Structure 1
Amino acid sequence: MQIQRKTLAQEVADRLTEGIINNEFAVGEKLPTEPELMKIYGVGRSSIREAIKILSIKGILDVHQGVGTFVISNTIHESLESQMDKAEIQDVQEVRSLLDAKIAAKAALNRNEEQLRNIKVYLDQRNTLATENRDLECYQADINFHVAIAEACGNILLKEIYTIASSHILRSFESSHNDTESFIISQDVHKRLYLAIENQNAEEAALIAQQIVDRIY
């Protein structure tokens, strides 16, 4: 599973949500018109409409055709993704690191052949891109490798938390990337992790995953 970047519509929905939480848009108040919202957020009409649809489904907005869109609730539970967006990158990395060994062990026990093939695809991509020094693409492949393992672990909640954390870390990397030397050095330990999962050796998979977290190559 490839990490998906946040869409413009989701960005707008998040900013509208913040405005509602901060009482910029009160319950019962009509939102600005679509052209006004397009100007405020600097996006096109389709992104505004999709953002409103997202918040309507959540029961936050109510659209009255020909009249306008109204705020009907400010009881909003901030999503895990939004909380991670506001967190320090070190905290997000710690969350992901705490999950790695458990996820690897469960993936070794629960993976199927298709999931194993996906893990191998990203492992090979990681190696090729590291050798070619294509840093951003290499980091994407590395993230996808670990998320593919999370996909195979058999626990939907663990996978979701791990995927959101990985997406956040990827965005942070994009603004501070350098080269792929560390990926080349760590390719062998990632290959050993794959083999442990292939051989359904949960104990070995957990041990190697922890070595990757601790950067013991």
Structure 2
Amino acid sequence: MLKQRTSLTDHVADVLTNRILEGQYAVGEKLPAGRLLAEEFGVSAAVIREATERLRTQGLVRSRQGVGCMVLSNVLQDGFQMNTAQAGDRQALLHIYELRAGLEGEAAALAAQRATEEDLRHMAHILAELRASLHVPESALEWDFAFHRSLTAATHNPHYSQLLAYLSDQWRHSVQVARLHTLKLEMAGPATDESALARTQSVHEEHEAIFRAIRARDPMEARLRAQEHLQRACERLGLDVSVSTSSSPSSFNAGRK
């Protein structure tokens, strides 16, 4: 069974929040460095980033590159919140995929226009690592999520990366559900079932197609491939896109051929 990093993020964010509310970290004081927090909680730097980003969205801390996180308030602010779709809640999962289609489609289009050579090298490295770990669920999940992070980073619009960090629980959950579903289909058939193995390969090819469009500097193609990838993920999961697109056009419909 996969160890869900969302639960680790929840735990770290809850502990840090309580420390701030109880005055252990005073207003105006800096939180311990990310490296120290990672060592204390026994988690990765990525988990610490996601947890502190959650504190930022709650108005508790302010973060600056190279400076760290400073406590801004010891009072929680009410604001926009999103819960992770619960197991079996297919409609909630579909809503997350619809949200991703709109955001990632536009992010891919911007990345096609703005990605630097360093961005492209980073994305190529991630895809190579993902290809090498396609049948190792936990590693594949991390590299898959890293690809989507690199896509938003390549927009060079910080709000895309910040929004992905804020919605990381929902993003990660949707990626994890899709990957586990594909893996389950593979394991259900014989070890030599080429069609089962092809399903995982086809998912990877969808990522590669997004990258090729970004590298070719083709915003329209990048947008289409990103939306198509998410639409196909819904189809593989048996999510009925028509349920929420029947009344108005959506990114999913735009991606249909």
Q: Which TM-score bucket, shorter chain as reference?
A: 0.5 to 0.7
* Residue equivalent to 2:14: 11
Q: Post-superposition shift, 1:122? A: 1.2
Distance 1:121 1:59 in 2: 40
Distance 1:155 1:214, change over 3 A: same
Which of 101, 106, 110 matches 2:110?
106
Q: Contact (CA 8 Å) 2:105, 2:227: kept in 1 or not?
A: yes
The structure showing larger relative contact order (alpha-carbon pairs under 8 Å, at least 6 residues apart) is 1
Moved over 6 A (4+): none
Distance 1:195 1:86, change over 3 A: closer
Q: What amino acid sits opposite 1:185 in the alignment? A: S
Q: Contact (CA 8 Å) 1:107, 1:150: kept in 2 or not?
A: yes
* Residue equivalent to 2:140: 138
Which of 209, 218, 222 matches 1:201?
218
* Residue equivalent to 2:82: 84
Q: Contact (CA 8 Å) 2:164, 2:171: kept in 1 or not?
A: no
Q: Give per-residue Cα distances to partners, 1:91-126, cap 9 Å, x unaligned.
A: 433322221110000000000011111111111111
Distance 1:86 1:199, change over 3 A: closer
Q: Contact (CA 8 Å) 1:119, 1:148: kept in 2 or not?
A: yes
Distance 2:19 2:111 in 1: 38
DSSP 3-state at the match of 1:6:
helix
- Superposition RMSD in Å: 3.7
TM-score, normalising length from structure 2? Answer: 0.54
Q: Post-superposition shift, 1:58? A: 2.6
Q: Post-superposition shift, 1:89? A: 4.5
Distance 1:211 1:172, change over 3 A: closer
Q: Post-superposition shift, 1:203? A: 1.1
Distance 1:116 1:187 in 2: 17
Q: Contact (CA 8 Å) 1:111, 1:153: kept in 2 or not?
A: yes
1:50-129 to 2 correspondence within 5 Å? 55=60, 57-60=71-74, 73=75, 76-78=77-79, 83-85=81-83, 88-129=92-133
Q: Contact (CA 8 Å) 1:107, 1:197: kept in 2 or not?
A: yes
Which of 131, 149, 152 matches 1:150?
152
Q: What amino acid sits opposite 1:189 in the alignment? A: E
Which of 205, 208, 231 matches 1:188?
205
Q: Give per-residue Cα distances to partners, 1:15-70, cap 9 Å, x unaligned.
A: 678xx7xxxxxxxxxx599xxxxxxxxxxxx77xxx9xx7581321xxxxxxxxxx
* Residue equivalent to 1:70: none
Deviates more, 1:93-102 or 1:134-143: 93-102
Q: What amino acid sits opposite 2:220 in the alignment? A: E
Q: Contact (CA 8 Å) 1:104, 1:202: kept in 2 or not?
A: yes
DSSP 3-state at the match of 1:169:
helix
Unaligned runs of 5+ in 1: 21-30, 34-45, 61-72
Q: Contact (CA 8 Å) 1:99, 1:162: kept in 2 or not?
A: no
Q: Contact (CA 8 Å) 2:109, 2:220: kept in 1 or not?
A: yes
**Percent identical across equivalent pairs?**
20
